[in-house]
Every structure is written in structure tokens, then in C-alpha cells.
Amino acid sequence: MTALIEKFLRIFARRGGRSIILAYDHGIEHGPTDFLDNPDSADPGYILKLAREAGFDGVVFQRGGIAEKYYDGSVPLIVKLNGKTNLYNGEPISVANCTVEEAVSLGASAVGYTIYPGSGYEWKMFEELARIKREAVKFDMPLIVWSYPRGGGKVTNETAPEIVAYAARVALELGADAMKIKYTGDPKTFAWAVKVAGKVPVLMSGGPKTKTEEEFLRQVEGVLEAGAIGIAVGRNVWQRRDALKFARVLSEIVYGGKKVVEVLGEVK
């Protein structure tokens, strides 16, 4: 275990080594349509309050619009250093809009960076990530890599088990101190991704809101069973009308070690 992985776990996995991080970079990644299901979620202040009241380990914000203007220090912050919009239609690429030094000055406890392995611009993101890694080490900041294979003509299914495992391995090899990867859909194949991630803690990325609460809770149960330390999710929490109630049920599973069957009564 490296010192930066230990630091990440100390801050973002405070309870039994388990972690729930609330992702909120969707305003740039998908646009405000993501906020329509629960209009309160358009307000970053609401997201901070939600994370705090649910007792989550952290929030993910972009630097400018959000971290600079809303962050109040009440929940550990991960500043997402790069981002792209949904309006962009080319080969997947996401470039930095913030440095590690700037993230530190915004109060961040860790930084995040997305790579799209397989993209025609993979080399560009890998190069930038290498620079960021050097800077992160200098500033003693854990680096969380969002590893989402995409583009280039070879990635046809982002959640195929071999693709997710490849995503995990790439994040390990490029120096991630924690990683966020998509769920393969079953614990057995996800366990392989966790294994090839080596010493790097794995968080599941949520994806679009599932039809039922139970469906998402089963995914969470599956990733924990597979050895992931937790989840770094957005839409599946704050798009729900009763987001706080759902967040608390998630906590019972992730931190409390409960099974889905034990909490189903609370979400029905």
C-alpha cells in the first residue's frame, strides 16, 4: 500500500474501509437535463447538504462553477480536474481545466481525472495524466482515476467484463490511488476487475438511474461482494425525489453491511 492510497482510505473510507462518494460533475458532462428528475439537484448547496446529512465520505465537484462558489468544507472534496460536454461529438477526449495546485487551494482532499482508454486521443489523456500524477505526488494528493474505455472503434460495450477489467488495470498501471469503474453487471466478473486493480481501491460508477431502487441496491451489494470498497455515484442518488432517504438506505448497505433484503421495506 502506498502512502497516497493510505491517505485516500483514511479520508474517503473512514468506516470499515468502505466508501460512498457523491459525484456531481454532471452539469458539464451531461448538462442540466440530468437535474430535471429532481429539480433541487440543480443547486450545488443541496448536493452538499445531502452528502453531509447522509454521512457520505466525499463529494466530487468541478473547480469553477461549483468548488469555488459553493464548497463549504463540510464534506471532503474531490476536485475533478478534467471534463467534457455531451455536446462534443468527436473521438472521446477530456482535458484538464484545473491544476492540482489549484485544487489544493480550493480545499480538495483528492483530485480526479477521467481517461477514455481506446479513444484515438488516449495518448493525450495518458500524457496529461502523467503530468497530473507528478503534481499530485508533489502536493501529497490522492489521485482518483475515472477509467471509462470508449471510442476508437474497438470498444463496443463499455460494461463488458473484459473491458471493465482492462479499465481497472490501466488505472493501476497509470498510477491511480483509487479508481472509478463501471459495473459489469455481476459480482463474479466484477471480482476479476477488482483483482487486476491490484492494491488500488475500486469504486463503482453508478450510471443512469435504475428503474427501481432495488435494482441499484442489488448492484451495490454485488460490487461489495466482488471486493470493491464502495461507490462513487451521482444520478442514482440525487435524481431520486427522496434522495436523502435513499442515501441513508445505501449507507446501511455500504457502511452497515446489511443485505438488500433487510432494507427493502424502507424503499418500497
- What distance separates the 2 farthest-apart alpha carbons in the chain? 49
Candidates 47, 38, 150; CA nearest to 90 is 150
Report 178-197 residues binding ligand FBP (CB under 6 A). Answer: 180
Query: Which residues, 88 to 147, sit near ligand FBP by CB under 6 A?
Result: 146
Binding to ligand FBP in span 18-37, by CB under 6 A: 23, 25-26, 29
Smallest separation (angstroms) from ligand FBP to the CB of 116: 9
CA-wise closest residue to 98 among 116, 112, 119? 112
Helix or strand or coil: residue 175?
coil
Residues 139, 177: Cα–Cα separation, whole Å:
14
Decide if 180 is catalytic: yes
Supply the minimum distance, in Å, between the C-beta of residue 241 and ligand FBP: 16
Catalytic residue among 148, 166, 183, 255: 148
> Which of 41, 159, 219, 236 contacts ligand FBP by CB under 6 A?
236
127 φ, ψ (degrees, to nearest 5): -65, -45
Residue 153: count other Cβ atoms within 10 Å of its Cβ. Answer: 9
Q: At what angle do helices 187-196 and 161-173 cross, to 10 degrees?
A: 20
Nearer to ligand FBP, 2 or 212 (CB): 212
| Closest approach of ligand FBP to the CB of residue 3, in Å | 26
**CB distance 144 to 176 below 8 Å:** yes
Total residues at interface with ligand FBP (CB under 6 A): 15
**207 lies in the site for ligand FBP, by CB under 6 A:** yes
Enter the C-alpha cell of residue 197. 486493480
148 is catalytic: yes
Q: Indicate the pairing of strand 95-96 with strand 77-80.
A: unpaired
* The one among 71, 235, 243, 246 contacting ligand FBP by CB under 6 A: 235
Instruction: Please report whether residue 205 would count as binding ligand FBP according to CB under 6 A.
Output: yes
Q: Which residue reads 475500486 in cell numbers?
A: 202
* 151 Rama class: left (phi>0) / alpha (psi -120 to 50) / beta: left
Catalytic one among 80, 133, 180, 182?
180
Judging by DSSP bridges, how do beta strands 58-62 and 77-80 pair with one another?
Answer: parallel
189/219 with CB nearer ligand FBP: 219
Give me the least distance between CB of 235 and ligand FBP, in Å please.
3
Q: Which stretch binds ligand FBP (CB under 6 A): 185-193, 205-213, 241-249, 250-258?
A: 205-213
- The contact set with ligand FBP (CB under 6 A) reads 23, 25-26, 29, 60, 146, 148, 180, 205-207, 233-236
Q: Tell me which residues are annotated as active site.
A: 148, 180
